[in-house]
A and B are shown apart, each in its own frame.
Chain A
Amino acid sequence: MTQNLTRRSCLPLLAAALSLPALRPAAAASPDLSFAELYSSFSALGLEFSDKVKQLTGRKVSIQGFMAPPLKAEAQFFVLTEIPMALCPFCSTDADWPDNILVVYLDRKQTFTDPNQRIEARGTLERGSWTDPETGFVSQLRLRGARFAKV
């Protein structure tokens, strides 16, 4: 674990605009929600959830993304990101999450996937600040009772 204390990167997660053709599946099922649709506005004083997110809150939705390396192998949840995480905020003290993440709580144990593997998660969309009691991880947007599959 000493490695985790070493200085590793200040790489900001600015790569939202980066295209990832090689990682995109040829034919993906059309998801209900995409990362680009999560927020309607960005400001240093806070982000605003989109009307679509507001309408879909409490309903089952599907969203595609990449699984960030989990906090613990046995964690109840994982973080879904728009692009594969270039660094691990759980592992490195100076790495930080991008603005647009979705926390996914699974309804049953599932094997975690390769972070390069595009997945589609489906679960009930939940909005509002919530602190995971076990890890203290705070999220603003979540899927509950979710399952995921490779796409």
Chain B
Amino acid sequence: MRTIVSALAASTILAGAAGAAEIYPLDRATILAKSPFDFKVELDAAHGEADIAVTVNGKPYAEVFGQPAAFVAEETDADGATLGSALILRDLSLAEPGRYTVEVKAGDETKSATWEVYATAEAPRVRNVIFIIGDGLSVAHRTSARIMSRGMTGGKADGRLAMDDLDHMAFIGTSSTHSIATDSANTASAYMTGHKSRVNALGVYADRTPDSLDDPRVETIAEALRRTTNKAIGIVSNSELQDATPAAVVAHTRRRGDKAEITGMFHEVLPEVMLGGGSAYFLNAEVPGSKRKDDKDYIQLFRDAGYAIATTREELAAGTNAGRLLGLFHTGNMDTWLDRNQLGKGTVDKFPDQPGLVEMTAAALDQLSRNEDGFFLMVEAASVDKMSHPMDWERAVLDTIELDHTVALARDFAARNPDTLVVLTGDHTHGLSLIGTIDTEKPGDDMREKLAVYDDAGFPDYVDADGDGYPDSLEVKRPLAIFSSNFPDYYETWGAKLDGPFVPAIQDGDGRYVANEAYKDVPGAVLRTGNLPRDNDTAVHAVDDVVLQASGPGAEAFKGYMEQSDVYKVLADVLALGTDQK
């Protein structure tokens, strides 16, 4: 079937047109009643406006939607070639819940899509939502964090993670609109809008035109909260704030790399608390360290909007009386727990006073809880993913422990404020597995033979003498053995990367990623020939389901298998986003 479709597509392209008719939102979209979204019809050929017939549930569409769409006689691709006609209606909203079947006819082109418009509870069940995302959080991260942090005796964990005791659980399907595989943009966007999208896209359906900022938009949770409530909004991440996951709370772009524009989108929503990295896109182009191309000074623009600015852990700890808080602790992504607390590698020499995720979340909760109408806080542990890509497992697992301490903080807040829903989830998974330990004391130089599996694996010997939940050192005799199912060419060095974050592969002159020779002479290093296409620099995301957990009012709605976009429906329902509460 796939072959036939491809052959048809190929012949269509040869005939001078590209693609087929499409309706946005896509078929099977679920839409929050009264939430604004863009309606778009893309046709394969150029048609006269009068030749395009669109009905909704059998009635002329303009009657149901309340207004006609703008007609585009011809959309063009990047080279100016025609893509066909289009209809675009921005900021449409549907108040009446139910099924809406849109049918399009133009010449011999036909297309239909059915949406489900849903209502929510009339009154909110929670005051606060703390939505915590471990970027790339997979089952092996959790298992490894539990064993490394708490230890294990006789096959039973010597302690539990905070995330182990959340009350409800669901498997989440993360696939994107065009592929079973996925990235942090469309996955976080599904959580934060209730709509699935395409790889690299945030808050939009990916249309066919080259402009990344004109794609049909859907409402983000921040916009919905502003429209219907007086809740405060907080965003915390140890990545750049413009990175896909934090950006998903507010952004609309086909291209997650539009970081300068995303900074502007934060400024449009003005979340009360924003803590993370990525100051380079706040600085005007004249300032060394800026990555903007214009003279916009977003530091000043946020100051003008009443924000207190913190740039170090010390400044964050000092607190503020201002109603709004912007913490920018790095020009780029912040450093990992391991580098900040034990090794001083990465960029810690340049940015020595960065707060950790727990401190940032505590500061956010302190600030947001002053709002009498409650808050929505999104917290992202970004480095779980950023260190899983280069297969730097110790950094990824230690950042998972830091994530768990953040969950503990959120649960503690919820214990004191029981009208709080706490959600912990990943956005997508990685292909890592914990398979045993490495018996470093086994004689010989052949590291492969020191990999201890089955009965030989025993238990690792991490020590946490100071009881902070983190191992005091990674230099142990029997570390965990974690591997990725997929990888570029790289040198396996069989242990913690104590010299700095791992860089497995670098690009050669032909654009192919080859093993980084910097690790060739590490004792015991073994060249592993990759199984990924050679244009992949690091390990990729897995398609495996994410495990979501939640506690608090409404958490029981999380169960079984759920599409990522349906998580938004639960949030909308407990927050009663279908009801005007202002």
Q: Which residues of A contact B (CB under 8 A)?
A: 3, 5-23, 39, 42-49, 69, 83-88, 91-94, 96-99, 112-116, 128-129, 131, 136, 138, 140-141
Nearest-CB residue, chain A, relative to B510: A114
Chain A residues touching B, majority SS:
loop
Contact between B499 and A114 (Cβ–Cβ < 8 Å)? no
Interface residue B477 (Cβ < 8 Å from any Cβ of A):
no
Contact between A114 and B508 (Cβ–Cβ < 8 Å)? yes
Interface stretch of the complex, out of B82-90, B115-123, B226-234, B279-287: B279-287
Instruction: Tell me which residues across on chain A come within 8 A of B517, comparing CB atoms.
Output: 20, 22-23, 116
Contact between B283 and A10 (Cβ–Cβ < 8 Å)? no
Contact between A99 and B508 (Cβ–Cβ < 8 Å)? no
Interface mask (B339-383 → A, CB under 8 Å = 1, otherwise 0): 100000111011100000000000000000000000000000010
Q: Please list 14 pairs of residues, one from A and one from B, whose beta carbons are closer than 8 Å in the complex, sorted by A's number.
A: A9-B390, A10-B385, A12-B346, A20-B517, A22-B520, A44-B279, A44-B311, A44-B329, A45-B279, A45-B328, A86-B537, A94-B200, A114-B508, A141-B288
Kindly name the residue among A19, A20, A136 whose own CB sees the greatest number of chain B CB atoms within 10 A. A20
Query: Which residue from B346, B503, B507, B521 sits with its C-beta under 8 Å from A21?
Result: B521
Q: Given contacts A11-B503, A136-B293, is CB(A44)–CB(B330) below 8 Å? A: yes
In the complex, which residues 530-559 of chain B have their Cβ closer than 8 Å to any Cβ of chain A? 533, 535-538, 540-541
Residues of B within 8 Å of A, CB-based: how many?
75
With the chains together, A116 CA to B510 CA distance in Å?
11
Q: Given contacts A45-B311, A46-B288, A86-B505, is CB(A98)–CB(B332) below 8 Å? A: yes
Instruction: Tell me which residues across on chain B come within 8 A of A16, comparing CB atoms.
Output: 346-347, 500
B415: shortest Cβ distance to chain A, in Å? Answer: 33
Instruction: Tell me which residues across on chain A come within 8 A of B508, comparing CB atoms.
Output: 114-116
Instruction: Tell me which residues across on chain B come within 8 A of A10, comparing CB atoms.
Output: 135, 184, 239, 243, 382, 385-386, 389
Q: Given contacts A8-B536, A85-B506, A131-B293, is CB(A42)–CB(B283) below 8 Å? A: no
Contact between A93 and B200 (Cβ–Cβ < 8 Å)? yes
Instruction: Tell me which residues across on chain A come within 8 A of B521, comparing CB atoms.
Output: 21-22
Contact between B184 and A11 (Cβ–Cβ < 8 Å)? no
Nearest-CB residue, chain A, relative to B354: A44
Q: State the 7 A-B residue pairs at the shortest beta-carbon distance, nearest first.
A: A7-B183, A93-B257, A14-B346, A47-B289, A44-B279, A42-B350, A114-B509
Instruction: Tell me which residues across on chain B come within 8 A of A47, comparing CB atoms.
Output: 287-289, 331
Kindly name the residue among B243, B509, B521 whose own CB sees the greatest number of chain A CB atoms within 10 A. B509
Instruction: Tell me which residues across on chain A come within 8 A of B516, comparing CB atoms.
Output: 84, 86
Q: Which residues of B contact A (CB under 8 A)?
A: 135, 181-185, 199-200, 239-240, 243-244, 255-257, 259, 277, 279-280, 283, 285-293, 299, 311, 328-333, 335-336, 339, 345-347, 349-351, 382, 385-386, 389-390, 499-501, 503-509, 511, 514, 516-518, 520-521, 533, 535-538, 540-541
Kindly name the residue among A10, A99, A140 whose own CB sees the greatest number of chain B CB atoms within 10 A. A10
A66: shortest Cβ distance to chain B, in Å? Answer: 9
Instruction: Tell me which residues across on chain A come within 8 A of B287, comparing CB atoms.
Output: 45-47
Nearest-CB residue, chain B, relative to A18: B500
With the chains together, A114 CA to B507 CA distance in Å?
8
With the chains together, A138 CA to B293 CA distance in Å?
6
Nearest-CB residue, chain A, relative to B176: A7
Instruction: Tell me which residues across on chain B come within 8 A of A23, comparing CB atoms.
Output: 517-518
Query: Which residue from A13, A86, A87 sits with its C-beta under 8 Å from B332?
Result: A13
Contact between A7 and B184 (Cβ–Cβ < 8 Å)? yes
Known pairs A3-B533, A47-B287; list 11 more (Cβ under 8 Å): A11-B386, A12-B346, A12-B501, A14-B336, A16-B500, A18-B499, A69-B511, A88-B507, A94-B244, A99-B280, A112-B509
A50: shortest Cβ distance to chain B, in Å? Answer: 11
B40: shortest Cβ distance to chain A, in Å? Answer: 20
Contact between B500 and A17 (Cβ–Cβ < 8 Å)? yes
Nearest-CB residue, chain B, relative to A12: B333
Instruction: Tell me which residues across on chain B come within 8 A of A13, comparing CB atoms.
Output: 332
Contact between B499 and A116 (Cβ–Cβ < 8 Å)? no
With the chains together, A44 CA to B302 CA distance in Å?
15
With the chains together, A91 CA to B328 CA distance in Å?
27
Instruction: Tell me which residues across on chain A come within 8 A of B390, comparing CB atoms.
Output: 9, 11, 86
Instruction: Tell me which residues across on chain A come within 8 A of B291, comparing CB atoms.
Output: 96-97, 138
Nearest-CB residue, chain A, relative to B198: A5
